[in-house]
Amino acid sequence: MRAVLCLSTVVGLVNAAVLVPRVAPPSSASSWRPKTHNPEFFSLKVDDRCDGSDTDTNCPFQGYAIRLEDGIVIATPYNKWWDPKLPIFLVDDDTQCYTVSKKPLQLYVNTVTGALKYAPVGWLPANSIAISFYKTGNNPLGRVDPSPAYFAWPSTEGRTERLGANTWWLCPLSNTGQYQIFISDANFGASKQGGVNKEDCTPESLAAVNANPWT
């Protein structure tokens, strides 16, 4: 009789536990809010443009913009009339850079390879630097080469250029016509980060173009 009562008690407790609604813990992405009260929203384009006297070889990145794909940041041809919208970014007061979206992503630099990468907010991997991103200037008309606004790391555009190369290096992804974004080797010294061969890479700046996340 005592065993039956104990068993009934256990079953009752199990049933009660099933009936209690389970509340999932809030994710870091959903609870994240920017620190700045005056965010500046922007998309990114490669700072390259042909003028009347240029050939395509003099301005190979005309019309290229920045997208996020499979965990890496890439430069790819872009046409605003039929291509999907570009990702929109903001740089927070603590110099960390995020996408403006329902599920925000965070940019970071991989300290082994020097690659510019991204991850969900709150899920930065080891060997990553997520601070010292800078967006300077204002570019409402979307001008490039020259641009009145730039996106740079680990300091503002003018200072990083003094390191001996532009802020970013564009390295070809096989024969796809797309390029992966790396920081300049000069940021970490003369050695190549993680053994990545950058002999075929091109140093370029990234123009910040004003963007509206509500359109």
Residue 159 lies in a domain: yes
User: Could you report the average pLDDT of every consecutive run of 10 residues in the chain (215 residues)?
Assistant: 45 42 46 86 96 77 97 96 96 96 95 94 94 96 96 84 71 94 79 71 94 89
pLDDT at 74: 98
Residue 51: give the domain boundaries: 38-210
Residue 43 lies in a domain: yes
Q: Are 72 and 176 in contact (CB under 8 A)?
A: no
| 131-148 per-position pLDDT tens digit | 999 999 999 999 999 999
β-strand partners of 191: none
Residue 194 lies in a domain: yes
What residues have CB less than 8 Å from 47, skipping those under 6 apart?
144, 145, 146, 147, 150, 204, 205, 206, 207
Residue 105 lies in a domain: yes
pLDDT at 19: 42
Residue 90 lies in a domain: yes
Residue 131 lies in a domain: yes
Q: Write the DSSP string, 141-191.
A: T---SS-SEEEESSS-HHHHHTTTS-SEEEEE-TTSS-EEEEE-GGGG-SS
- What is the number of domains present in the chain? 1
pLDDT at 15: 45
Residue 94 lies in a domain: yes
CATH number of the domain at 68, please.
2.80.10
Residue 27 lies in a domain: no
| 51-94 per-position pLDDT tens digit | 876 666 789 999 999 999 999 999 999 999 999 999 999 999 99
**Is the bond preceding 146 in cis, omega lying within 30 degrees of 0?**
yes
**Is the bond preceding 148 in cis, omega lying within 30 degrees of 0?**
no
